[in-house]
Amino acid sequence: MEFIDYYKVLEIDKNATPAEIKKAYRKLARKLHPDLNPNDKSAQERFQRVNEANEVLSDPVKRKKYDEYGKDWEHAEAFEQAKRQQRNSPGGNRRTYTSNTGSAEDFSDFFESMFGGGDFRSGGNRRTTQFKGQDLNATLKLNLLDILEDQKQTLDLGHKKIRITIPAGVEDGQTIRINGYGSDGANGGPNGDLYLTFEILNNTDFKRVGNDLYKNETITLYDAILGNTIEVNTMTGKVKLKVKPETQNDTKVKLKGKGMPVYKKKGAHGDLYITYKVAMPTHLSQKERELFKQLSELR
């Protein structure tokens, strides 16, 4: 089995923090997404490899095994168990095995010698080595309005249909793992997993940045100067907003809790930021021009 350096796959250092891993994964997942590279087989293969690397490195337990055992990290427990059995058995093999980055025999050779190319003998018992099924990747397109609340979706994977609950607030490009919905395992091994990537389409007037929303609101010159109460649209309906007298163009106000729902945090929401855009009056009448002239003279 060829060794794959997951750190190089995500283009990060081996000392990368969980936040750096997450950031690198999202950047590459968006860049290599199959929908953006429909005819690029290489990009699709890299996309799958990026998801695979993220699955391992974003999990502290799996990452520790990977750092210690390299390509054989999935067999780490079997390796440790076999070593203990060898040490405890009379006349057992006393050879020493270390990481595949060390100088001793490679783990793969050890597994082959212990499992006999697929059979494992322990205490006179024989059992067939089990293999996990292949992981699958799928993309689900949703509108921004679809993720304001939890919703149920039925996915047709071809070989099976599954019904899942999508938590409110999922992000564009976010990938979640659904255990056991990949290809069937071999020799009674566990099924692979399904990696579901979300593509969030925004057909609203709101700009989404994380959990916060941003929107421009046009107000008249008279409302800006004299003040007024106006109605503005939010993602969940209209609200009344008081414009203060002498409001300047590009003034920004925050509506707390009117942003996007926070992923997997029930009841938590981001904020909505409204930026006022003052519309200058046009097609002035002669009377209006005279009044503005009088105002300018007063100033």
Domain boundaries, the chain: 6-127, 136-201, 207-298
What is the per-residue pLDDT for 80? 67
What is the per-residue pLDDT for 85? 59
What is the per-residue pLDDT for 61? 87
What is the per-residue pLDDT for 116? 46
Q: Nearest to residue 29, comparing CAs of 9, 6, 8, 47?
A: 47
More confident residue, 255 or 43: 255
List of E strands, 109-265:
119-122, 125-128, 136-143, 151-156, 161-166, 175-178, 194-201, 207-209, 212-220, 228-234, 237-243, 252-255
Residue 175 has pLDDT above 60, yes or no: yes
Residue 106 has pLDDT above 80, yes or no: no
Would you list the DSSP string of 241-292?
EEEPTTPPTT-EEEETT-SPBPTT-TT-B--EEEEEEEEPP-S--HHHHHHH
What is the per-residue pLDDT for 120? 43
Residue 104 has pLDDT above 60, yes or no: no
Kindly provide the b/e burial profile for residues 105-134, where b requires at least 16 CB atoms within 10 angstroms of the residue's own CB: ebbeebbeebbeeeebeeeeeeeebeebbe
What is the per-residue pLDDT for 70? 79
More confident residue, 109 or 274: 274
What is the per-residue pLDDT for 142? 94
More confident residue, 243 or 96: 243
How far is it, in rounded angstroms, from Cα 23 to Cα 58?
A: 11
* pLDDT grade for 123, boundaries at 50, 70 and 90: very low
* pLDDT grade for 181, boundaries at 50, 70 and 90: confident
Residue 125 has pLDDT above 60, yes or no: no
* pLDDT grade for 119, boundaries at 50, 70 and 90: very low
What is the per-residue pLDDT for 83? 61
What is the per-residue pLDDT for 126? 47
Residue 114 has pLDDT above 60, yes or no: no
Q: So what's the architecture of 136-201 in CATH?
A: Sandwich (2.60)
At 200, phi and psi to the nearest 5? -100, 120
Mean of pLDDT values over 212-228: 96
More confident residue, 228 or 102: 228
- Averaged pLDDT of the chain: 83
CATH topology of domain 207-298: HSP40/DNAj peptide-binding domain (2.60.260)
Summarize pLDDT for 45-97 with one digit per residue, the tens: 888 889 889 989 998 988 988 888 777 777 767 666 666 655 555 544 434 44
* pLDDT grade for 3, boundaries at 50, 70 and 90: confident
What is the per-residue pLDDT for 289? 92
How far is it, in rounded angstroms, from Cα 237 to Cα 246?
A: 27
Instruction: Classify domain 6-127 at the CATH class level.
Output: mainly alpha
Mean of pLDDT values over 263-274: 94
What is the per-residue pLDDT for 109? 53
pTM of the model: 0.56
What is the per-residue pLDDT for 32? 87
